[in-house]
Amino acid sequence: MGTCVSQVALCSPTSVVGSSSPTQIFWYAEPDPKGIFKTLVDTFNALGFGVQVTLAAQGSSTDDYHQWLRQQLKAGRETPQVFSLDIIYTAEFAEQHWLVSLDELLCQSDSEQYLQTALTAASYPTSEGRLWALPLHSDVGLLFCRSDIPYAAGESLPPSSWRQLSAMAREAQAKHSVTAVLPGWGYLWQNAPYEGLLCNALEVFSGYGAQLVAEDDGQQDKRPAYRVVVERYRDQLEQALGEMVSWVQGPGAITPLQALESTGDIQGLDEPLTIAHFNQGIAAFMRNWPYAYNQLDVRGLGSQVHAHQVAVYPLPGATRPCIGGWQVAINAHAPPRERAAALTFARWLLCDSAQKALAGSQNYLPVLKAIYDDPELQANLPFYSGLREMIEERGQLRPRLTQYAQFSRAVQAAVYSALRGEHSPVEAITLLERELHAVLG
């Protein structure tokens, strides 16, 4: 696609498509409830780059969006020319030759201005290239704690382990510290059988010092290779899953089994449902993404929790929070002129102004490091200054696998079966080990 482009150049309005008439392209983006992507597109279109972008934001289901993208690209469709891609699917799409290599896009000095975890997630070494997308925004799992209720004597926020979180949540329930419209719950987390459950499971596993797969060393210029390491961590994995099961089953449950029942199309809790319940004041703790903080003062039936009553911390102890986020990629099937136009737009999304607009919406974490030092943003989100370190130093990327969807489904199925009582934690981990060997070969 050409030589590396400096940060100043990629943010300057210069036409790169060699025509006086704007090149029309489509950007298919992930769900955008606050409309910030529309604002970005309108700003870009007014700058005079010689490119006219039309936004087509997708519905609420990221799984449906992923399937739709696969169908479009597998069929060789030229539209969309640029599209948002969840960071977990870089390897799959790169291996299918659906993406344009962006290896020479960023100068080394400029790439260092961005979150390295985000750049790693956008990378997947093949014979045709390494960098397959440009980071758009990041994400990281956090613990939201009610700071306005009393906990047990000697206990203070934040909890230092998952066991301590469980104990503090049970104590809050027992003392009726959590005033509720519904019976009090201690802990809200994503436990429906979807990607959110996988993130929660990987986080709890890491808090017990365990993992499911490990990336082989010495693979820097080769495709990432993973091996199943369940046997090495079997005891810790069984303990961790047992802890999660105790949250939903038995007399000491802090997320009662009813939380796994169907709510509309959701069999359990997802992110919006955990926020909705937390806003009703029925739990002491919640695991969610940073955007949830901006929704804590949403008033509804029985809404009791407001941002000033909530403290936000890293997940307990040595837990490595899952890194989330989206990136923008260029359709390899698009004609050269439209590819160049799409690249101009994608590069602009990395600019300071675009990244600050994303951050200012309080819905997205920027990938440009300097934004995290912005005083205004730090004032609006008290925990903002620590997010960059949390992402870069503590966060865990999910495996960069071409067969990631199969990996995720295997983990979800095993964990969910244990939560429902269909298998014991020991049985579920044994079944999961077998499934992961089948997925990874």
pLDDT of residue 173: 82
> Is residue 181 over pLDDT 60?
no
pTM: 0.93
pLDDT of residue 57: 79
Question: Mean pLDDT across the chain, nearest whole number?
Answer: 89
Question: Which residues does 1 contact at the CB level (< 8 Å), separation at least 6?
Answer: 100, 101, 102, 104, 105, 339, 343
> Is residue 190 over pLDDT 90?
yes
> Is residue 22 over pLDDT 80?
yes
Most confident of 112-116, 260-264, 376-380: 112-116
What letter would DSSP give residue 217?
A: T
Residue 10 pLDDT level (bands cut at 50, 70, 90): low
pLDDT of residue 433: 98
pLDDT of residue 301: 41
Task: Provide the 3-class DSSP secondary structure of residue 392.
Answer: helix
Do 7-139+324-394 and 142-321+403-440 share a fold? yes
Under a CB-based contact definition with an 8 Å cutoff, are residues 259 and 184 in contact? no
> Is residue 124 over pLDDT 80?
yes
Q: If we measure between CA atoms, which residue out of 138, 397, 177, 440 comes closest to residue 283?
A: 177
Q: Where do the structural domains in the chain lie, given as residue ranges?
A: 7-139+324-394, 142-321+403-440
> Is residue 31 over pLDDT 60?
yes
Q: Read off φ and ψ for residue 337, nearest 5 degrees.
A: -60, -45
pLDDT of residue 148: 82
> Is residue 191 over pLDDT 60?
yes
| Separation of alpha carbons 407 and 402, rounded Å | 10
Helix (H) or strand (E) holding 263: strand 262-263
> Is residue 4 over pLDDT 70?
no
pLDDT of residue 85: 97
pLDDT digits (tens, 9 = 90+) for 398-410: 999 999 999 999 9
Q: What is the percent of the chain where pLDDT is above 90?
A: 67
pLDDT of residue 218: 61
pLDDT of residue 3: 55
Q: What angle do CA 325, 320, 391 make, to 5 degrees?
A: 45
What letter would DSSP give residue 371?
A: G
Q: Read off φ and ψ for residue 381, nearest 5 degrees.
A: -125, 100
> Is residue 259 over pLDDT 90?
no
pLDDT digits (tens, 9 = 90+) for 322-367: 999 999 999 999 999 999 999 999 999 999 999 999 999 878 999 9
Instruction: Go through 314-344 and write b for each residue having 16 or more CB atoms within 10 A of its CB, e for each that does not.
Output: bbbbebbbbbbbbbbbbbbbbeeebbbbbbb
3-state helix, strand, coil in the chain (%, to 5): 40, 15, 40
Give counts: helices (H), strands (E), the chain. 16, 15
Torsion of CA 68, 69, 70, 75, to 10 degrees: 90
pLDDT of residue 54: 98
| Fold of the 7-139+324-394 domain | D-Maltodextrin-Binding Protein; domain 2 (3.40.190)
Better pLDDT: 45 or 219: 45
CATH homologous superfamily for 142-321+403-440?
Periplasmic binding protein-like II (3.40.190.10)
